[in-house]
């Protein structure tokens, strides 16, 4: 059954930017009561204006267990909880900086672990929890991120049983044009996106709006749990160099 989101309370960790912000806009348009949360009050304020609906904001740092615990202590019951917070890294096992690799695992895996642990128990039995991973594998390219993504899928499978009947799922995006890439110079980023786009069956790099409908599909699909949905323009059908 496709569930209505009207007046449903939806909490979006990492809803101030990129894919999370696109999902926040989409569910607000569907009539949900949306809370977006992240580390920067300034970014949250800008995002809230951009969403053009009555949105609540909250402060949370998913790298810090006590921050996650404190954030969820203020909630009574949530209909749907989604998490987008997570840092990525480049590099393989032999050439990556260890501290950066550990941060990627801490951020992407442990951050979502804390969200599942402290937020999962606040979700109504009819509700859902959706994590964000990434499409892989990409050996030599981002090993800690790829490992964290695999861990997130297993985390969801476990929680789908531990907090059942709450549904727990994962979306795995691929290259998506968001502020996550702002650390790379504009011309290099353009070059990278063009090179990847040429090799994708779909022929272009996703915008956040191309990925967001998959999250909506999960929220509204009352029989979907314990799965990871890749949204990757067909990337795994061929090798991307």
Q: Can you give the binding site for ligand NAP, defined by CB under 6 A?
A: 13-14, 16-20, 38-40, 43, 60-63, 84-86, 88, 107, 111, 132, 134, 173-176, 178-180
Least CB distance from residue 213 to ligand NAP, whole Å? 15
Least CB distance from residue 1 to ligand NAP, whole Å? 28
Do residues 176 and 206 make contact, with C-beta atoms less than 8 angstroms apart? yes
Closer to ligand NAP at the Cβ: 30 or 103? 103
Q: In angstroms, what is the C-alpha Rg of the chain?
A: 17
Q: Which residue of this chain has its Cβ atom nearest to ligand NAP in the complex?
A: 18
Report which DSSP code applies to 36: E
Least CB distance from residue 192 to ligand NAP, whole Å? 10
Tokens of 166: 């709450």
- How many residues are listed for the chain in this entry? 241
Closer to ligand NAP at the Cβ: 4 or 56? 56
64: how many CB neighbours lie within 10 A of its CB? 14
Closer to ligand NAP at the Cβ: 3 or 192? 192
Distance CA 108, CA 84 (A): 9
DSSP, collapsed to helix, strand or coil, labels residue 8 as coil
Least CB distance from residue 113 to ligand NAP, whole Å? 13
């Amino acid at each position: 059954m496709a569930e209505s989101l009207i007046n449903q309370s939806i909490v979006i960790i990492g809803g101030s930017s990129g894919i999370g912000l696109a999902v926040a806009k989409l569910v607000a348009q569907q009539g949900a009561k949306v809370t977006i949360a992240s580390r920067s009050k300034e970014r949250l304020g800008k995002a809230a204006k951009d969403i053009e609906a009555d949105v609540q904001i909250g402060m949370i740092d998913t790298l810090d267990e006590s921050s996650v615990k404190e954030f969820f202590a203020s909630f009574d019951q949530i209909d749907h909880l989604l998490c987008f917070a997570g840092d990525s890294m480049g590099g393989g096992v032999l050439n990556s900086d260890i501290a950066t690799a550990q941060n990627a695992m801490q951020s992407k895996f442990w951050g979502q672990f804390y969200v599942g642990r402290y937020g999962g128990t606040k979700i109504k039995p009819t509700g859902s929890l959706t994590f964000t991973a990434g499409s892989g594998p990409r050996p030599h390219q981002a090993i800690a991120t790829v490992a964290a993504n695999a861990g997130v899928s297993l985390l969801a499978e476990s929680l789908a049983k531990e907090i059942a009947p709450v549904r727990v799922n994962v979306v795995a995006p691929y290259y998506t044009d968001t502020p996550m890439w702002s650390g790379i110079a504009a011309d290099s980023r353009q070059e990278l996106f063009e090179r990847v786009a040429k090799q994708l069956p779909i022929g272009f790099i996703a915008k956040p709006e191309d990925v967001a409908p998959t999250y909506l599909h999960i929220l509204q699909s009352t029989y979907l749990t314990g799965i990871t949905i890749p949204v990757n323009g067909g990337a795994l059908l061929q090798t991307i160099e």
